[in-house]
């Protein structure tokens, strides 16, 4: 099942679960999103056609992240523009969550293994603001 989460009128998160797997490749994201998500299910012996992606400039206005939950249970907190929690999203093994801009946090409810993907380059200093160190007045 896929879910879209809107905060302050903008799409901030999209969750996809393995329950929606179908034979072949299915993309669940919209072409205009800054990050794309699809799920592939192939039988043994399948061969995907070799290909490359053409070099292309992309203008990025927000950093997007994807969380892939391999095991455990976690909650993703999505914050609004006032830095208040606007959405709480539970993720379980087999879930993928795309996040588009805005602030977020993670609470691990059961031991979890999670892969995080985000756009780069990333410098770790100028690319992030910690809400608990810089609260809004």
Decide if 66 is inside a domain. yes
Which residue bears the tokens 């056609």?
49
Decide if 72 is inside a domain. yes
28: region left, alpha or beta (phi > 0 left; psi from -120 to 50 alpha): alpha
Range of the domain at 110: 3-44+61-118
pLDDT for 64: 87
Decide if 128 is inside a domain. no
| Residue pLDDT tens, the chain, 137 long | 788 999 999 989 989 887 777 888 888 888 888 788 888 889 999 999 889 989 988 887 788 899 999 999 999 999 999 999 999 999 999 999 999 888 999 999 999 999 999 887 777 777 787 888 766 65
Decide if 23 is inside a domain. yes
Contact 112, 72 (CB under 8 A): yes
Query: How many other C-beta atoms can be found within 10 angstroms of the C-beta atom of residue 51?
Result: 6
Decide if 16 is inside a domain. yes
Decide if 93 is inside a domain. yes
Q: How many domains are there within the chain?
A: 1
The whole-model pTM stands at 0.81
Decide if 51 is inside a domain. no
């Amino acid at each position: 099942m896929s879910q879209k989460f809107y905060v302050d009128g903008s799409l901030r998160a999209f969750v996809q679960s393995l329950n929606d797997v179908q034979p072949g490749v299915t993309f669940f994201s919209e072409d205009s999103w800054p990050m794309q998500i699809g799920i592939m299910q192939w039988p043994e012996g399948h061969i995907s056609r070799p290909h490359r992606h053409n070099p292309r400039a992309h203008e990025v206005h927000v950093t997007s992240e994807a969380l892939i939950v391999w095991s455990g249970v976690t909650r993703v907190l999505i914050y609004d523009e006032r830095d208040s929690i606007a959405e709480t999203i539970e993720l379980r093994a087999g879930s993928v969550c795309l996040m588009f801009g805005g602030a977020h946090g993670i609470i691990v409810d059961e031991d979890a293994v999670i892969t995080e993907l985000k756009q780069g380059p990333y410098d770790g200093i100028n690319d992030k603001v910690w809400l608990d160190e810089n609260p809004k007045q």
